[in-house]
Amino acid sequence: MHTQRVFDTKDFRNALGMFATGVTIVTARAEDGTAVGVTANSFNSVSMQPPLVLWSLAKTSRNLSVFCGKQHWNVHILSNEQETLSNRFARSGEDKFAGLELDPGATDAPLIPHCSARFQCRTMFQYEGGDHIIFVGEVIDYNRTERPPLLYVTGGYALATPKSAAVSTEPQANLPASLFSEDMLGYLLGRAHYQFLAGIRPILQQRALSDADFFILSLLSVRAAMSAQDIATHMAYTGFNIDATCLELLCERELLCKEGGAATVYRLGAPGRDAILHLLAAAKSIEADLTGRIGEIEAVSLRNLLKRAILNSDPGLPKLWTADAQAVAPN
């Protein structure tokens, strides 16, 4: 005879958390006109014909009576930029709609803007499902955007990205037993770095600028004035030895200018400002082209993964962007 295993609630929840889901906010309007909304990741499709979706709400929710009593509700699939909104609607005891400019919808249910997708629904069926109520709704209107969706997995927010094809491995290649392969993170980061820089090399060569010169000008485009020691500290991870001689050569070309006596600081000179603005404009053009090729969703995921890699390998470099930083702007 089969015996039902007694589950540890926390561990069972963690096991379910291995299944990645989107994050939604479901909204309705109470009888007195009050806007109501809850964060939910129980949303799913049911049928294409007719177009049906479902979601569930805990029986202990203070908003249960509103959704049980209303014919219409909206499901908002949140974009990756709406994490703060997700957190707000997951909490109780505050005006969740404060400051939100709602869009007009097919019904009186609140319609939140800037989502990845939105489904305006009317209740078709309502079932009890253990400690939750399951709502099945017919979609009467919907819309979608290209905004990357916000995901939730293993107890935290995440981003979605399609798997990549091989970079340097031919199909059916006879791979040697080697520590070096195209999956080596250092190879991938290095190759991506140099392929990206290749796009601005013509400008660097035209202006007789080295990679180190470019990094220094970039740094001073963010931090308006810095000492030689501060510049060297910020540049430590590049492997370039930035000393006073290097900075003096840039000053001789008027790419930099220095101020002060004993406490000398360096700023961009007019030619340096012109050079970095052209270089950064070229870099932004390369970035826009790459984003167009891989898609905005993957570009957002790439930025996120690179930030995580940087945070987890940071040797303790100072912050580049600070409250008093004055970035260079076009004239």
Q: What is the CATH number of the domain that holds 301?
A: 1.10.10.10
196 in a domain, yes or no? Answer: yes
The C-alpha atoms of residue 46 and residue 68 are separated, in whole angstroms, by 19
| Domain tally, the chain | 2
The reply to whether 152 and 23 lie within a common domain is: yes
> What's the pLDDT at 326?
56
Q: Where are the alpha helices (DSSP H) in 91-168?
A: none
Q: Is the dihedral of CA 150, 153, 158, 159 positive or negative?
A: negative
The C-alpha atoms of residue 22 and residue 57 are separated, in whole angstroms, by 16
| Under 8 Å between Cβ of 79 and 159 | no
Angle at 8 between CA 6 and CA 13, to 5 degrees: 125
Mean pLDDT taken over the chain? 88
178 in a domain, yes or no? Answer: no
175 in a domain, yes or no? Answer: no
pLDDT at 51 over 90: yes
The reply to whether 13 and 140 lie within a common domain is: yes
> What's the pLDDT at 94?
76
> What's the pLDDT at 260?
81
The reply to whether 214 and 152 lie within a common domain is: no
- Share above pLDDT 70 across residues of the chain, in percent, rounded to a whole number: 92
The reply to whether 15 and 147 lie within a common domain is: yes
> Structure pTM?
0.61
| Under 8 Å between Cβ of 235 and 219 | yes
* Six token digits for residue 259: 């101020």
326 in a domain, yes or no? Answer: no
The reply to whether 266 and 151 lie within a common domain is: no
- Provide the domain limits for residue 270: 185-313
How do strand 52-58 and strand 44-47 relate by DSSP bridges? antiparallel
How do strand 52-58 and strand 132-144 relate by DSSP bridges? antiparallel
321 in a domain, yes or no? Answer: no
Phi, psi of 207 (to 5 degrees): -100, 10
Mean pLDDT calculated for residue range 22-34: 94
> What's the pLDDT at 236?
87
* Six token digits for residue 237: 């991870």
The C-alpha atoms of residue 52 and residue 266 are separated, in whole angstroms, by 63
pLDDT at 172 over 80: no
pLDDT at 59 over 70: yes
The reply to whether 19 and 154 lie within a common domain is: yes
174 in a domain, yes or no? Answer: no
The C-alpha atoms of residue 76 and residue 149 are separated, in whole angstroms, by 10
Phi, psi of 204 (to 5 degrees): -60, -45
The reply to whether 76 and 133 lie within a common domain is: yes
The reply to whether 147 and 54 lie within a common domain is: yes
CATH code of 151's domain: 2.30.110.10
Three-state SS at 43: coil
The reply to whether 230 and 297 lie within a common domain is: yes
The reply to whether 269 and 207 lie within a common domain is: yes
The reply to whether 243 and 129 lie within a common domain is: no
DSSP E strands: which ranges in the chain? 21-22, 24-29, 35-40, 44-47, 52-58, 72-77, 117-129, 132-144, 150-153, 156-159, 256-259, 265-268
173 in a domain, yes or no? Answer: no
Place of tokens 């912050």: 319
The reply to whether 154 and 17 lie within a common domain is: yes
pLDDT at 171 over 80: no
166 in a domain, yes or no? Answer: no
| Under 8 Å between Cβ of 266 and 223 | no
